[in-house]
Amino acid sequence: MDYFDLNLNLTSEDIALREAASKFAREVMRPVSIQLDRMTPEEAFAKGSPYWDFMRQAYQLGYHKLPFPEDFGGPGLSPLQIQIVMEELAWGSFGLTLALNTSLDAAVAMAGTEEHIKEFTIPYCQCTDGSYVGCWAITEPDHGSDTLVTGYPSFRDPNIPANCRARLDGDDYVINGQKAAWVSAGPLANHILLMCQIDPARGHAGSGIFIFSLDRPGVALGKPLNKLGSRDLCQGEVYFDNVRVPKKYLIVGPENYEAALEAHLCLTLPMVGTWATGLARAAFDEALAYAKQRVQGGKPLVELSNIQQKIFDMFRKVEASRQLCRAAFVYNWSQPFSPEKRAIEYSMAAKTFATQAALEVTSDAIQILGGNGISKEYVVEKLFRDARTTLICDGSNDTLSVVGGNKIAGAYPRRFQS
Ligand SMILES: Cc1cc2nc3c(=O)[nH]c(=O)nc-3n(C[C@H](O)[C@H](O)[C@H](O)COP(=O)(O)OP(=O)(O)OC[C@H]3O[C@@H](n4cnc5c(N)ncnc54)[C@H](O)[C@@H]3O)c2cc1C
């Protein structure tokens, strides 16, 4: 379904992009996503499964490279256009949209050298058959929230040992350890953006960011994890046993790691919030359509005042989510490498608000559908399960709120920009 956009400055190109993504989400993503949700993880991601057919179609249309500039082979979209298209795709599926965007994170890839861009980013952008699969790995079996709380004493505590470490040996880094079962696309990946510890004396802050292909001796990939929601997103471990990686593949070293991680979170958090907004809007659309056709006591549900109130509450949350996520993403995209101007508190607010809203909106959608809401015959029970995963993805909301509050306490009152 279409939505009204308050932005009076949308161009005909913005609207055309939105319509094309909306059609793809409705006609391709939603049906595949439901199919994958009902399969076992082994079936869903096996060679020849509908997942791979979907990826081929999405890569052909360029939906795997939305954030990349034209110089790298990307579409060169404005930040607003990226946000608009991402919300549409996530209307079709949160998990598949995440899967399309976990490969070689754009912000960090752009921080790489010309050589990194030539070797990794351009071939990724040129891929049209879904075969170039990247993953982003930071979470470890013993370290989830720990790895994201930049600025916190625990982030710099040398007494907290990491599960995955890189040690310089001649011209190579030697990597040992593992990343957690939460690595999106981990079991399918042939490339990785790896955040792992290099200097234990600095704790997690002593990490670095590597980019490399996974076809090296000592790399092993886990099995796809079985989950409550976002079942169309493949997740699993990546293991390293004395894996040698030339030092030219280190993009960011320990001296700049904390700032680079913050820059990364500034962009990924409102993007996760944007996907949650698309998911919530899908539930809103389903509930409204159902309320118009379901008759109880002689009238359609939609004529009942409590249903109208619920519909309004859902609408309010979807619209507020979009505005906050869009503003945080567009603003921070324009300042990625300018630490004094970045506003990570807005990105944290956007992600936590939109994902909480998605959980509430999908729950309300189930309530409006009554018994049908919990039946597999209707998509809202899937949307509810998918929404539950968003509160943990890219940093749990509780942790982000604690860290966000800490940042605000330290940085406010903030000056208006000149
Ligand atoms: C859909 C999805 C996709 C993901 N994709 C990736 C990926 O591509 N790559 C990757 O590396 N990881 C990925 N993750 C992992 C995700 O980033 C972690 O799950 C998240 O950071 C939380 O870590 P944890 O699960 O270990 O929970 P824990 O850190 O163990 O936290 C457990 C609970 O304790 C609370 N808690 C912990 N510390 C604090 C604190 N200091 N203050 C307040 N509360 C606290 C948390 O809020 C949470 O409620 C993904 C997760 C999901 C659900």
Confidence (pLDDT) at 206: 97
Q: Whose CA is nearest to atom 40 of ligand 1?
A: 399
Q: What CATH number is attached to the domain comprising 114?
A: 1.10.540.10
The number of distinct structural domains making up the chain is 3
Asked if residue 418 belongs to a domain, the reply is: no
Asked if residue 5 belongs to a domain, the reply is: no
Give the Å distance between the CA of 241 and the centre of ligand 1.
24
Write out pLDDT tens, residues 239-291: 999 999 999 999 999 999 999 999 999 999 999 999 999 999 999 999 999 99
Give the Å distance between the CA of 140 and the centre of ligand 1.
10
**Do 97 and 177 belong to one domain?**
no
Q: Residue 396: CB within 6 Å of ligand 1?
A: yes
Asked if residue 263 belongs to a domain, the reply is: yes
Q: Residue 332: CB within 6 Å of ligand 1?
A: no
Domain end point (choices 73, 108, 126): 126
**Do 399 and 292 belong to one domain?**
yes
Give the Å distance between the CA of 145 and the centre of ligand 1.
5
Q: What is the pTM of this model?
A: 0.97
In whole angstroms, what is the distance from residue 251 CA to residue 321 CA?
33
Percentage of the chain surpassing pLDDT 70? Answer: 98
**Do 365 and 385 belong to one domain?**
yes
Give the Å distance between the CA of 136 and the centre of ligand 1.
14
Asked if residue 365 belongs to a domain, the reply is: yes
Asked if residue 416 belongs to a domain, the reply is: no
**Do 193 and 323 belong to one domain?**
no
**Do 383 and 261 belong to one domain?**
yes
**Do 247 and 179 belong to one domain?**
yes
Q: How confident is the model over 68-95, as a mean pLDDT?
A: 96
In whole angstroms, what is the distance from residue 88 CA to residue 325 CA?
14
Give the Å distance between the CA of 393 and the centre of ligand 1.
6
Confidence (pLDDT) at 247: 97
Burial environment of residue 65 by CB neighbours within 10 A (0 to 12, 13 to 18, 19 or more): buried
Q: Whose CA is nearest to atom 33 of ligand 1?
A: 396
Give the Å distance between the CA of 17 and the centre of ligand 1.
33
**Do 138 and 70 belong to one domain?**
no
Q: Residue 101: CB within 6 Å of ligand 1?
A: no
**Do 275 and 398 belong to one domain?**
yes
Domain end point (choices 126, 148, 181): 126
Q: Residue 142: CB within 6 Å of ligand 1?
A: no
**Do 146 and 199 belong to one domain?**
yes
Domain end point (choices 227, 252, 277): 252
Q: Residue 140: CB within 6 Å of ligand 1?
A: no
Q: Residue 139: CB within 6 Å of ligand 1?
A: yes
**Do 283 and 392 belong to one domain?**
yes
Residues 6+ apart with CB under 8 A from 11: none
Residue 321: give the domain boundaries. 256-411
Percentage of the chain surpassing pLDDT 90? Answer: 90
Q: How confident is the model over 107-136, as a mean pLDDT?
A: 90
Asked if residue 6 belongs to a domain, the reply is: no
**Do 171 and 247 belong to one domain?**
yes
Strands 250-252, 207-213: pairing kind: antiparallel
Write out pLDDT tens, residues 149-199: 988 889 999 999 999 999 999 999 999 999 999 999 999 999 999 999 999
Q: What CATH number is attached to the domain comprising 193?
A: 2.40.110.10
Asked if residue 57 belongs to a domain, the reply is: yes
Q: Residue 144: CB within 6 Å of ligand 1?
A: yes
In whole angstroms, what is the distance from residue 289 CA to residue 215 CA?
49
Count of CB atoms situated within 10 Å of the CB of 158? 13
Q: Whose CA is nearest to atom 18 of ligand 1?
A: 144
Say yes or no to pLDDT of 338 above 90.
no
Tokens 């976002």 found at: 230
Q: Whose CA is nearest to atom 53 of ligand 1?
A: 393
Q: What CATH number is attached to the domain comprising 386?
A: 1.20.140.10
Per DSSP, the three-state class of 246 is strand
**Do 260 and 228 belong to one domain?**
no
Q: Residue 148: CB within 6 Å of ligand 1?
A: yes
Asked if residue 307 belongs to a domain, the reply is: yes
5-9, 216-220, 349-353, 413-417: range with lowest mean pLDDT = 413-417
